[in-house]
Structure 1
Amino acid sequence: MTFKQFALNNVKRNTRQYLSYFLSCMFAVTVFFMYAVVMFHPDISNYEFRDTMQRGIIVNEIIIYVFSFLFVLYSTASFIKSRKKEYGLLTTLGISKSQLNRMLVLENTIIGIASIVAGLLLGALLTKLFLMVFSTVLGIDQILPFHLSLKAIGLTALSFFFMFEVNSFAVVWTLRTNSVMEVFRGAKSPKKALKFSWILSTLSIAAIGVAYYLAFTADFMSVFYRMVPILVLIIPGTYFLFTQFSIAFTNQLKRRKGFYYKGLNLLTVSDLTFKLRDNARLLFLVTILSAIAFTSSGVLYGLFQSAEVESERFLPQDVSLIGKGKNNANAFQEEVNNVKNEFDAKNISYKTLMVKSTQVQVSSNEENWNETWLMLYSYSDYKEAMSLQGKDVPFSINNNEVFILLPDIIAPDYADIPDSFSLRSENEQADFSVKTTESQVNGNIYTTYSAVVSDSVFNQFLEVASSNEIYYNSMMNIPNWTSHTETITQTLGYVDREIVYPDSQADFYLTMKEGMSYLFFFGIFISVLFFLAAGSILYFRMYQDIDNDLHHFHSLYRIGLTDQEMKKIATKQLGLLFFIPFLVAAIHAGFAFKILQNILTSSVFLPSGIIISIFFVIHLINFIFIRNIYTAKLKKVM
């Protein structure tokens, strides 16, 4: 038997141990390759989003590659650790350091090449489906034809081969620093017990609780400066949750005599305490990876699904056309007529309303509001505008009052609105008490906010307004506007922007849909990669501990436990190690979804629930697969 055959046989004998690692690497290669196919696809150059798409894919490829590098490094180190006893035996039988190093590099090279080849083959098989999904998600009229780029194949193969080789030499370097006895002891090397601290345990719960509170109460205005504190609290809080609080919790279970001495709980809890202690850092890592996967997938899918509702929230009116200046009145009307004629030609039904408004400036002692420009509407016109959208005005108004129309995303307290101020134009000024209400008109590029005053006050300002202070507003309601988004956007794209400022829900909808399509397309596969890596890490750990566990269960078998009792204990322990991180990650993600829900109008819990349910099914299948391997091994000691 040659040295190469010896290395190949070692890989074959450890097939089950390498299986999860191999599949995860293969998936990473597949995803990397399919994105590369899109990046080098010749037909992409025909689309306007080519540059944006290629930049996004490059960022995605870097993330996949860096994460795969770290994952392979961790996995290879784990395998080396689990086989140290084997390497120690080979060393005592006379294998030299250089031969052992060659064997390790050769084994990892074999697995790496197999992963690359399998990943490329799977990627080639899925490329057509991937291109179909890509075309559908991004709204391309024609599905991109099947194309296998030699550049994509070469980039993927060379990049991952280099990665596997570098990781091999890195792990060999760490192994050569160990003495022969340390290698021979292998995974049984004594470990320092983690010290249990009530202070750290309490702080972990407190940190997570504060992070949850910040997430639960966050809104659009506060979320940006709360994100860093939330992460600063949640990451160390989760770490100490597993390294400290988990031990404290199991110790409390031991003190509950009625529970502890019931059935097999004594054995389950006792073993679980040591497993939680030994695997605390691993469970923390798995939880963070899973939380990233859940959060990114759920948030992206939730945003993707909420485009219509959010369009109606940010732009209350289906279509608005605003023209500035009395001198442009005729030209503005001509542009509006052109839009109407185009809608008529496309059989798009609509209702329209034309109103005047005027701009004024705030004079206030509040620095944030002084010299702020407002678009002023009369109460009657605002009432008609809301009626056009099928809504009622929720307030009445007096002559000395002005209602500031705040967008839904801005709360009054964040706007820091004074109780009173003056409104002035070139030829008029008056004092008002200030109130706020949610805006039901679209914003514009001319003023910061819109406002409503009584009809008499509005006429008072309008009658003396200069030409450039007068605005013309054409407001449209289009039933079932989502069916005409492309036509509406194209039609408004033809108007003269020097005369008309157009805005529409259709344009916002298409922009958000396109942006979310890119993000969803880029993010979903990375999320799945993170989640599969988390499952693989658990699989590695199970294989590292399985020899010690077999000795333990053999002892239990000899003192009289039945096959079913031992399987029950093993299933409970594995189940807790698998699903505790999943549960914690799902809770973390749930509060991230609450942040998104506080920002959006549409419900994100249903799409987020669907995403987590899919991940749960995948995790459950992975658990059943690993449990069956584990219990099959137990049969050897019975």
Structure 2
Amino acid sequence: MTFRKFAFNNIYRNKRLYAAYFLSSLFTVMVFFTFAIFAYHPELGEGHLNGNVRFGMNTAAGIIYVFSFFFVLYSMSSFLHSRKREFGLLMLQGMSMRQIRWMVFLENMIIGFFATLGGILLGLVFAKAILLLAENALVLESRLYFYFPGQAVKQSLICFLALFFCISVFVSYVLRSRKLIELIKGDKQSKGEPKANLLLTLAAVLLLGSGYAGALIVKGLGVIAALVPVVCVVTAGTYLLFTQLSVYVIRRLKKRESFFWRKTNMLLFADLSFRMKDNARTFFMVAMVSTTAFSAIGTLYGFQSFATDSTKIAYPNTLVYKEDEFSEQHLAVIREALRKAGIQGEEAAMTMSYYDIGGRRTMIAKQSDYNRFAALIGEDAMELGEGEAAVVEFAGLPYGQAGAPLSRTIGLASGEALLAERTVNSRALPGPFYYVVPDAAFERLPAPVDARYYHAWQSSEEERHMLAVVRELLAQLPPNVVTSVDYEVYRMNKDYAPVLFVGLFVGLVFFVSAGSFLYFRLYMDLDGDKQKFGSIAKLGLSDKELGKVLTKQLAILFFAPIVVALIHGAVALTALSHMFFYNLVVESAVVLGVFLVIQVLYFFVVRYFYTAQIRSAIA
């Protein structure tokens, strides 16, 4: 039997041992390949997506690939760590360290080759579903038909075969020789009772508390200024949380005899501090990677919600026609299109007059015009007395209104002056600032420096009807004279959808990778748990008690970093809401809730197979 055949048989005869590494590698390839199928689709070629979106997709592909490299490298390192005893037995049989390195290289290349092929084939199976999902998510007018993704196949093969080759060379090169007794014993050697440093434990609490406080206190653009220091402080606090604070809490619980000796708590907490200490780096990495996924997807989803609501606020009318000069022909085209679509509603028209006041081009509207448009959207009418005026600020938007305040005095052609003492928040007319004056005073104003015809319709018809009407009008009228709130929301979602879709892809990679990190870490301790619970079962541990202990132990190890990541994510999304002055409670709850549900389902799957392995060993 050749050495290559030996490496292949070693994989084939130990399928359970190699399955986790193979499946995680296969999934990584599949995600990258499905993204490439989407990115290289002919319908999304040049001219279909703008340059910024194209650049974003290429950047996302690079991020996925780079992260895949480190993910596969970590998976391989964890896999090799769990095989120390196997390497010791091979050395006992006379295998040299050089041969072990060569065996590891061959095994990794074999697994990498089949994982790459399997990921591409699995991606082809789900390609149509991915394209249908992308078609709806991207708000595309054309269909993303199925095609054979030759370029995506070629790119995935080259990239991942090169990736597995580089990792195989690197891992086999850095694989260090150890004493034979260390390899044979594996992780059985005692490391001593882990202890926590009290100062570092307090530092963990202070760092996390100050980081959270800094993130939650600042408002507006201060959130951006505080981003880097807050991230650094919370990152350091998270590391100390798992390396020091968790060990300190467990030791305190173990000292409480009423708690430690209750039922099966002794079995649960006996070596939990060891495992928390050993897994601290993994838990830290899982918490930070998951926080990145939560925050990225939550930010994208929250920003879409914010942009949609801001657009609806900025365009309160169903349809608006605005042009420099009134055109009876254009108005007739609009009314005919509305009539054909069966859309009815109220309407109002006026001429928006602009004046040079204090060196600023400012609109002044008469009271009757303002009240008609206010009634159109259900706002209260304005009543002004003789010689009185009002400054109107556009209501609802936290940004775009900053600037030098308007003059409170309006001069009339007769030499009189109106005093604008009132300030009103309204969405009746466009513009961040403008004046409203009584009709009689408006007639005494000097000639305007500019004027525009403005006509608005208000209807409760469904969005798809208005979208069809606006598309028809855009084809018949000059550009930028007709707009609709539904059309503006549609256009915003169409431009933003590729960004959200790409962000979801990247976030998915981060999230699944975090779950895989936990999976590897738990299964590295599987052999030790088999021996431990096998010995305890001989003392009378029932199957029901075994299930409870394993469930509690796995839940603590599995959800400790996830809960920390959920708290980090909630704080990050709250800070985002403070930056936009926009409530993101619903969006945050949806994103974090979906991730939590997925993680709970993943936990039950892992728990089922892990418990089955333990029970089979002690049966």
TM bucket normalised to smaller: 0.7 to 0.9
Structure 1 residue aligned with 2:334, among 339, 342, 348? 339
Q: Secondary structure at the match of 1:463?
A: coil
CA distance in 2, matches of 1:137, 1:353: 36
In the other structure, the counterpart of 1:513 is 493
> Residue 455 of structure 1 is aligned with which of 423, 426, 438?
438
Counterpart residue type for residue 582 of structure 1: I
Are the aligned partners of 2:193 and 2:274 in contact in 1 as well (CA < 8 Å)?
no
Which amino acid in 2 is paired with 1:576? I
Change (3 A) 1:262 1:384: same
Residue 531 (structure 1) aligned with residue 511 (structure 2)? yes
The C-alpha deviation readout for 1:208-250, integer Å capped at 9, x for no partner, is 4444455556666554444444433432232222222222322
> Which residues in structure 2 correspond to 1:305-344 (within 5 Å)?
309-324=309-324, 329-331=325-327, 334-344=329-339
Distance in 1 separating the partners of 2:227 and 2:566: 18
Map of 1:383 onto structure 2? 371
2:243 and 2:440 mapped to 1: Cα distance?
67
Q: Could you tell me whether the CA contact under 8 Å between 1:242 and 1:284 is conserved in 2? A: yes
Structure 2 match to 1:469? 450
1:351-390 deviations in Å (ceiling 9; x for gaps):
3211233335665xxxxxxx65543333443232121012
Please point out which of 625, 630, 635 is paired with 2:605: 625
Q: Does 1:549 align with 2:529?
A: yes
Shift of 1:456: 5.7
1:192 Cα deviation from its structure 2 partner: 8.9
Alpha carbons of 1:591 and 1:190: their partners in 2 closer, same or farther (altered >3 Å)?
A: same
- Relative to structure 1, is the Cα distance of residues 71 and 281 closer, same or farther in structure 2, using a 3 angstrom cutoff? same
Amino acid paired to 2:335: K
Percent of aligned positions with the same letter in both sequences? 29
Aligned to 1:235: 235
Q: Is the 8 A contact 1:420 1:431 kept in 2?
A: no
1:46-65, aligned counterparts within 5 Å?
48-49=48-49, 54-65=54-65
Alignment of 1:117-136 (within 5 A): 117-136=117-136
Corresponding position of 1:368 = none
Q: Residue 573 of structure 1 aligns with which residue?
A: 553
Aligned CA RMSD, in angstroms, stands at 3.7
Please name the residue that 1:96 is paired with.
96
Please tell me whether the aligned partners of residues 593 and 608 of structure 1 are also in contact (alpha carbons under 8 angstroms): yes
Alignment equivalent of 2:467, drawn from 485, 490, 493: 485
CA distance, structure 1, for counterparts of residue 416 and residue 210 of structure 2: 49
Structure 1 CA distance, aligned partners of 2:563 and 2:428?
44
The superposition leaves residues 481-527 of structure 1 with CA deviations (integer Å, 9 ceiling, x where unpaired) of 52222432552465445xx6554313321222113321232222332
Structure 2 unmatched runs, 5+: none
Distance of 1:139 and 1:486 partners within structure 2: 15
**1:583 shift after superposition:** 2.1
Question: SS of 1:391's equivalent?
Answer: coil
Aligned length: 617
Secondary structure, aligned partner of 1:403: strand
CA distance in 1, matches of 2:461, 2:388: 39
Structure 1 unaligned regions, length at least 5: 364-370
**Is the CA contact 2:264–2:549 (under 8 Å) kept in the aligned structure 1?**
yes
CA 1:411/1:522 → structure 2, altered by over 3 Å: closer, same or farther?
closer
After superposition, the Cα gap between the structure-2 partners of 1:554 and 1:381, relative to the gap in structure 1 and judged at 3 Å, is same
Change (3 A) 1:470 1:116: same
* CA contact 1:27–1:119 (8 Å) conserved in 2: yes
Alpha-carbon distance in structure 2 between the residues aligned to 1:104 and 1:422: 83
Residue 355 in structure 1 maps to residue 350 in structure 2: yes
For 1:590-625, what per-residue CA distance to the aligned partner results, in whole angstroms no more than 9, with x for missing partners? Answer: 334445556789975556545444433432333233
Letter in structure 2 aligned against 1:469: D
Distance in 2, matches of 1:361 and 1:184, equals 89
CA contact (8 A) 1:298 1:607 kept: yes
Calculate the TM-score normalised by the size of structure 2: 0.87
Separation in structure 2 between the aligned mates of residue 264 and residue 100 of structure 1, nearest angstrom: 42
Q: Would you say the 8 A contact 1:355–1:474 is kept in 2?
A: yes
How far is the alpha carbon of 1:55 from its aligned partner? 3.5
Q: What letter matches 1:575 in structure 2? A: A
Alignment of 1:574-593 (within 5 A): 574-593=554-573
Q: Which residue in 2 is equivalent to 1:105?
A: 105
1:29 equivalenced with 2:29 (yes/no): yes
- Is the Cα–Cα contact under 8 Å of residues 408 and 421 in structure 2 kept in the other structure? yes
Alpha-carbon spacing, 1:564–1:481, altered in 2? closer, same or farther (3 Å)? closer
